[in-house]
Every structure is written in C-alpha cells, then in structure tokens.
Structure 1
C-alpha cells in the first residue's frame, strides 16, 4: 500500500482551506486565472434565493437570539428557483442552487453559477474537515464566518464580474434557534431576521415576503410562502424561473430545524406549486 504524502500526516490547522492553500493553492476558487470583463459575461448566472423562519412553540421562552424580542424561530426554509441565464439566453432550466452543507445548515447561491457551486462544495468539506480534526462541529457563528472567509478569497474574481452572493441558514444547536445570514461580495456577513432574499429577483421576492410572512408560521405555511415569493419574483424578473408545469421543474426547497437539514422531494414541492397555481387562476397577481 502506498504511504500518504508527508503533508497528510503532519499536524496542522483544522481548516481544510488553509491546508489546500499551503499544498495546492491552485485548487482554491479564488486563485483562478482572472478572465476579462467580456469573458465574465459568458458565464451562467443563477438567481433567486429566499429564506423564511417559522415556528415559535415555546413562545420565545427558549433563550433564542432574535431581533424581535421574545421570538425564537424553530426552523427556516430556504428555496431557490431553477433558472440560470447567459446574457439574454436561458443557460439552464433546472440548475440546482440550494445545497445542504452539514447536518444543520444549508446554503443557497446567487451569482456566477460555476464558482458558486465550487465554493459551496469547498465550504461543506471545510465543515466536515474541522469536525473530524477537532472532534466537534463549529458553532453556527463559526460556520457563517468560515463562509465569509471563502467569499473574501474570491474578491479578485468578483471584481472581474464573477461575483458570488450566498444565503446561509442553519439551526443553532446551542441557542436552540434558527438563523439566517446574508453576505456581500467582499465577504461581509450580516445576520438577517424573519426573512431575506438575494439575487436579481430579490427585490420582488422580498416585497412578497414582507406581505406573506408572519410570526408563528408552521413548516407547510413557510414552504408555501417561499414558493409564492419565487413565483412573484419570476413574474417581474426575467432571470428568475417560475414553476415549469410542462417540464415539472419546481423550486429547490430545503428545511432546517432541530431535527436536521433536509431537501423536500419534487412530489412535496409539486403539491405546493399545484395549490398555488390553482389559487392564482384568474388572479395572476395574487391579490388578497
């Protein structure tokens, strides 16, 4: 059996990104050869991502942290549409933009699709590597900050037009509360509350979320809210894909709570879409 190279047997940092930077820096997303600005326009871009919190069965007595005093959401739903665009063209109708990154977290990606997907996969490996080395998972704040560090390493590409803007959600197993984190292209990390959205359709999606979200939603109601917000975003933003009934392509929806992170099946999301389409029949704007 061939022995592992010395770098794999030497003690070092619990950060897989630092290990990669020391021994194979060319594999890091931020170390790619910078394209021209015109080249950046030829890469597929993905939008739109939304997240909403749900549940508060303890009535805020669980010690959770939240901007709304006394509100400790017990779960969060993260959803993304399936369209990627290439300039004025649809590059893909069924791209995946929502990923589970460990047992209690998920990430949705907006921006340059290829780099964003690679960055999220590296982030998932980073979390797994840390847990194996340290024998315990990172705190949720630590995970959010690790993702910010990866984004910061991509700043050179972002300035060339290859930006990545993720939306990170997770269940804080220490504070017993669901939380949402937004970012900017420079790696700034900001905790959001109640609901949030990123991507080209976020302006319209967030407007819908403000009207649809309320404290104390249960999980099915929260799923309905994110699907409806994406539907409204697709109604006004050409880069956001609405539910494709003919091809049976639905948004990707992840749910994260104390029980863990999971993706809803196409059948589950399809039922929500069918109910939404029926409710919107003869009422495309969703007027209430």
Structure 2
C-alpha cells in the first residue's frame, strides 16, 4: 500500500475511478461537520449540546442541502454522524434499534458507557469499508444517569473510543470549528449560550470549509441542534435557531462595518 501510495495512488481502495472517472468513494454522499460541547456546572444542571450542519457533498458537488446528521439514540443520548452518509444513517438506525431492544428485554436503559462501547463495536465492524474510503466517524453525547452529568465521546475509524471533556468536533470542518469552540466555550455556560456557541462554531467551519454548509437564510435551512440533559433529548426549534443565526450575522456584519470605517 505504501508503494501504491507513492507510485499509483489511484489504484488504492477508495481511489479507484467509478462512473465518470471519479473516485468510487466520491460517488457516495458524505456528511460533515458535527460539534458538541457541555453546558452547566456545579450550580446548574450539566448537559451536552450536539449540532450538525445540513450539507452533504459528493466529490465537488453538493448532494443535499437539508440532510440531518444529529439523531436521538434513545431518551438520554444522541449521536451525530460524519463520513459516508448512507452507511452512517443505517448505523444510527441499527444503534437506535439495539438500544430500544435492550431496554425492552432488560427493563432498564443501557448505561452511557455501555452505549458508547456498543457504538464503538459497530464502527469497528465497518472497518473494511472504511479502508475503501467509506468511513463513518460519529460523535456520541448523552446524560449519564448514574453520574448525573452530561458526557461526550469521540471515535476513530477502527472503533477506538475516547471520552472528550468540555467540547469536540469531527468532520472536514472540525479544525475550524474547534478553533471557534476554544475561543467561545467557558465553564458553566448556560444551555441557551451553549446553543449559540455551537451554531457560531458551525458558522466558522462553513466559512472556511466548502463541504460544510452554513445557515441558509434564503431557504431558511438551519443546523440541527439538540440538547441532552436530565430532561432527556430535546431538539432546538427552528424558530429559536433563526433568532440565534440572526444575532450572529448581525454581530459579524456590524463588526465588519466597524472595521471598514476604522
């Protein structure tokens, strides 16, 4: 594989041309970018915000402007997908089914660590396709009922599971989103402010990454944003997101105008 990478990279799995000469992996829609951050603290309920943009790409083309990448896994957890969209969505559906089946059989919810471990195993099972360029790299967040706190987990294509603290991002725009999260996140962030930080991080990612779609004020397409805390999974309404986007755009417009006058 190292020899092919140096001398004939087009022959590597995932780079073989398909219809129209495009690499096979580019013919399947890919989803990016997902961000997550914690909110609350000692004096407030601690939870997690999970958010994803709405764009799916297929090579250099926009495959969809309205794809959803954040899903409830069960009542107290959520998963965001990055990578090959079709495989990722099917993986999430199977994950949801397995958690529901466990709850019906055992009469109780699987622990948050157990959910993360199960998702890790499912990702590892996709490794042969990942080696062909059809990888799935989700971000998993939930409220740990045993610890009474929100927790966040990231994964790699081999199924490696890593608990993240404070905030994290995955996908092609993650490097830009992480930069925004580092500047905007702070301990004890209220839930409403955490939602604003998540949207602004996606806005920054879309500003520099062509595969990440920013808020579309013309078509009124907003990111999918959800919170998970002691009250369970709750999706943030489009009306709330419209207001958040309006404030972010107005602040940046005013700032740009002020810079131009200076």
Whether TM exceeds 0.5 here: the answer is yes
Q: Which residue of 1 aligns with 2:211?
A: 239
Alignment: residue pair count:
241
Q: Which residue of 1 aligns with 2:154?
A: 182
CA distance in 2, matches of 1:282, 1:89: 32
How far residue 125 of structure 1 moved from its aligned partner, in angstroms, is 0.4
How far residue 35 of structure 1 moved from its aligned partner, in angstroms, is 7.8
> 2:86 is matched with which residue: 114, 117, 124?
114
Gaps (5+ residues) in structure 1? 1-33, 60-72
How far residue 268 of structure 1 moved from its aligned partner, in angstroms, is 1.2
| Deviation string, structure 1 residues 165-184 (Cα, Å, up to 9, x no partner) | 00000000000010000000
Distance 1:146-1:48 versus aligned 2 partners, 3 A rule: same
Give 3-state SS (helix, strand or coil) of 1:165's partner: coil
The range that moved more, 76-85 or 275-284, is: 275-284
CA distance in 1, matches of 2:220, 2:68: 14
Matched, 1:132 2:104: yes
| Deviation string, structure 1 residues 245-279 (Cα, Å, up to 9, x no partner) | 10000000010000000111111111111111111
Q: Which residue of 2 aligns with 1:95?
A: 67
How far residue 282 of structure 1 moved from its aligned partner, in angstroms, is 3.9
Matched, 1:40 2:25: yes
Which has the larger helix fraction?
A: 2
> 1:225 is matched with which residue: 194, 197, 200?
197
How large is the RMSD of aligned CA atoms in angstroms?
A: 1.8
CA distance in 2, matches of 1:58, 1:148: 33
Distance 1:270-1:119 versus aligned 2 partners, 3 A rule: same
Give 3-state SS (helix, strand or coil) of 1:78's partner: strand
How far residue 39 of structure 1 moved from its aligned partner, in angstroms, is 2.0
Q: Which residue of 2 aligns with 1:266?
A: 238
- Tell me if structure 1 keeps the 8 A contact 2:14–2:131: no
CA distance in 1, matches of 2:209, 2:130: 22
Q: Which residue of 2 aligns with 1:156?
A: 128
CA distance in 1, matches of 2:83, 2:256: 28
Give 3-state SS (helix, strand or coil) of 2:137's partner: strand
What TM-score do the two structures reach when normalised by structure 2?
A: 0.88
Matched, 1:250 2:226: no
Matched, 1:51 2:36: yes
Gaps (5+ residues) in structure 2? 1-12, 17-22
What TM-score do the two structures reach when normalised by structure 1?
A: 0.81
